[in-house]
């Protein structure tokens, strides 16, 4: 088995998790929707001809891409049910093609822009994958993406004593990887947000509904302890809070 084949185990868990909650995703993915809006501001005014969107999900960011005149848009996601949801929601123009599969291991045609909103944190091998994405881009091609930083849900991981199932790399680390993968960084931004829930159970349900909890986190007695401790430590008048660290990058293939 090659190193890249190894990505399939975890990624099939990710695919199942997103597929399972595809129906309710849009209702609960308020933060991802806001991220999509901000990421759209990183898109060039004049879009290139051929665009590949990785991890398109139910289309929260795809909608922003479709607002531009394009010659070809390839939509990829590892979770078939997320893409089905997208197709039932949006009427896709003829220039769109859907390619379901693991973006870390499948092959894509040459394009001018690769973009993704809130996806790269799920990559098992981010550097290798960035290098491969670089090879799909034509000269002057662009990579524009958003992802989550290590402060994301830090309160939750501390209380539950668990590691993140996603790769939450620092802002500096992402910049290093972008550079190492042969891109030159054009612009970037980071922001920290807090989201509020009426209680910890509400937060847990939200994480599940957005596919961000792709394995059983804890036993039921641990769960009760987690809820109690989280409620005690992170309550405000607005309810319990969770922190999200959001990163945006725009890079170019020289
Ligand atoms: C947080 S959702 C974001 C979806 C969409 N981009 C949005 O803005 O709402 C992450 C998406 O990435 C997809 N995904 C995760 N790992 C992937 C991979 N290796 N290849 C392709 N898609 C992947 C998931 O199935 C899911 O739809």
CATH number of the structural domain spanning residue 36: 3.40.50.150
* CB-based contacts of 27-31 (< 8 A; 24+ apart in sequence): 27/209, 28/206, 28/209, 28/210, 29/58, 29/60, 29/210, 30/195, 31/193, 31/195, 31/244, 31/246
Q: How confident is the model at residue 20 (pLDDT cuts 50, 70, 90)?
A: confident
| Protein residue with least CA distance to atom 11, ligand 1 | 55
Q: Is residue 211 part of a domain?
A: no
Q: Is residue 91 part of a domain?
A: yes
Domain count along the chain: 1
For the chain, give the percent of residues with pLDDT over 90. Answer: 74
| Protein residue with least CA distance to atom 10, ligand 1 | 119
pLDDT, residue 1, reads: 36
Domain that holds residue 29: 4-149+166-195+245-252
Entry pTM: 0.92
Q: Is residue 127 part of a domain?
A: yes
Q: Is residue 87 part of a domain?
A: yes
Instruction: Kindly report, residue by residue over 108-130, the tens digit of the pLDDT.
Output: 999 999 999 999 999 999 999 99
Q: Is residue 236 part of a domain?
A: no
CA distance 203 to 198: 8
Instruction: Kindly report, residue by residue over 187-208, the tens digit of the pLDDT.
Output: 999 999 999 999 998 998 888 8
* Ligand 1 site-directed mutation target among 19, 54, 57, most atoms within 8 Å of CB: 57
Q: Is residue 29 part of a domain?
A: yes
Greater model confidence, 39 or 13: 39
* Rounded distance from Cα 14 to ligand 1 centre (Å): 9
Q: Is residue 8 part of a domain?
A: yes
| Protein residue with least CA distance to atom 19, ligand 1 | 102
Q: Is residue 34 part of a domain?
A: yes
With a 6 A CB cut-off, is 32 part of the ligand 1 pocket?
yes
Whether the predicted pLDDT of 26 surpasses 60 = yes
């Amino acid at each position: 088995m090659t190193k890249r084949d190894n990505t399939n185990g975890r990624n099939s868990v990710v695919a199942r998790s997103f597929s399972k909650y595809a129906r309710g995703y849009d209702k609960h993915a308020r933060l991802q929707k806001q991220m999509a809006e901000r990421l759209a501001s990183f898109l060039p005014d004049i879009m290139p001809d051929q665009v590949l969107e990785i991890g398109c999900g139910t289309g929260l960011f795809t909608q922003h891409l479709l607002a531009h005149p394009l010659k070809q848009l390839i939509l990829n996601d590892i979770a078939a049910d997320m893409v089905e949801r997208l197709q039932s929601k949006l009427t896709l123009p003829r220039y769109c093609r859907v390619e379901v599969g693991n973006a870390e291991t499948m092959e894509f045609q040459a394009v001018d822009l690769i973009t993704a909103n809130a996806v790269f944190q799920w990559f098992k091998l981010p550097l290798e994958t960035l290098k491969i994405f670089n090879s799909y881009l034509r000269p002057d091609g662009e990579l524009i993406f958003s992802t989550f930083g290590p402060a994301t849900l830090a309160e939750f991981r501390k209380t539950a004593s668990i590691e993140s199932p996603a790769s939450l790399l620092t802002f500096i680390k992402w910049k290093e990887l972008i550079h190492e993968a042969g891109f030159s960084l054009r612009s970037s931004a980071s922001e920290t947000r807090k989201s509020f829930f009426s209680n910890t159970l509400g937060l847990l349900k939200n994480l599940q509904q957005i596919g961000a909890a792709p394995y059983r986190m804890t036993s039921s007695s641990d769960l009760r302890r987690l809820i109690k401790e989280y409620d005690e430590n992170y309550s405000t008048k607005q309810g319990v809070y969770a922190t999200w660290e959001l990163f945006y990058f725009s890079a170019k293939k020289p």
